[in-house]
Amino acid sequence: MRRKRKLKSYVITSLYVVLFLTIVVGGFMISKGMKKNTVKPNYTYVSSIITSQDIPVISQSVKMLKPYTNEKVQVGKSFYDYKADSSQQEKSITYYDGSYIQNSGIDYILDEVFDVVSVLSGTVIDVKEDDLLGKVVEIKHDNGYVTSYQSLGEVSVKKGDSLTQGQTIGKSGSNKLDKDMGNHLHFELYANGQVVDPNLYIDKEIKSQE
């Protein structure tokens, strides 16, 4: 017959202590884990709306200058306008060698020789001397225009030169076609290959041609 063994009092006490510590430590660990799970992530929130900034497109344009700098210069003969009245058209015709020629540009006159300047930046595409027109300079511009300066007495540029707007290209002079006008500059403007009235462009904002 087996005898029942009785645990000693200090053993029981030790068991209670171990059990108590297990409960306390377990509860602490559970509590710590729960707190850890409830910590909010350290996120940075953007409260403002981010939009792409549009870069403004600058429309490049420039004001066409007069082909001279001396303010004493005057218009001696205007561009022949088909829509103008007959009296105005008569003032825009050149008579030469028994023929009437419609003026395809503007003639600027002054008693004294004056500087002739490029109305826009561009490249000299031709420099020549014509029997009727005198010394001629033609300039091609980046914006699709071509200018022709005729009846020059002196030329200070050559073919292929790159010019800035307002740069002197020569001086006024005379020619056989308009010898009665004396010292003057004959100025022509072409847009897309078509001769146009310079008065519609001078001192106006000029935009690039398509």
Sign of torsion, CA 169 173 175 180? positive
Q: Which helix (H) or strand (E) holds 16?
A: helix 9-38
pLDDT level of residue 61 (50, 70, 90 thresholds): confident
What pLDDT does 167 receive? 97
The encoded tokens of residue 11 equal 């053993």
Sign of torsion, CA 117 180 135 146? positive
The overall average pLDDT reported for the chain is 81
Over range 169-176, report the average pLDDT: 96
pLDDT level of residue 25 (50, 70, 90 thresholds): low
Backbone angles phi, psi at 136, to 5 degrees: -130, 140
Q: Which CATH architecture has domain 62-207?
A: Distorted Sandwich (2.70)
Backbone angles phi, psi at 51, to 5 degrees: -125, 150
Q: Which of 168, 139, 134, 127 is nearest to 151 (CA)?
A: 134
Instruction: Return d(Cα 29, Cα 22) in angstroms, integer.
Output: 11
Instruction: Return d(Cα 63, Cα 73) in angstroms, integer.
Output: 19
Domain limits, the chain? 62-207
Q: Where are the beta strands (DSSP E) in the chain?
A: 61-63, 74-77, 93-96, 99-102, 106-109, 115-117, 122-130, 134-141, 145-155, 162-163, 168-172, 184-191, 194-196, 205-207
Contact 128, 152 (CB under 8 A): no
End-to-end CA distance of the chain: 121
Q: Greater confidence, 53 or 87?
A: 87
Over range 38-53, report the average pLDDT: 42
What pLDDT does 53 receive? 46
Say whether pLDDT at 80 is over 80: yes
What pLDDT does 87 receive? 87
Q: Greater confidence, 157 or 86?
A: 157
Instruction: Return d(Cα 35, Cα 15) in angstroms, integer.
Output: 30
Instruction: Return d(Cα 61, Cα 111) in angstroms, integer.
Output: 34
Sign of torsion, CA 122 125 130 135? positive
pLDDT in tens, 144-160: 899 999 999 999 999 99
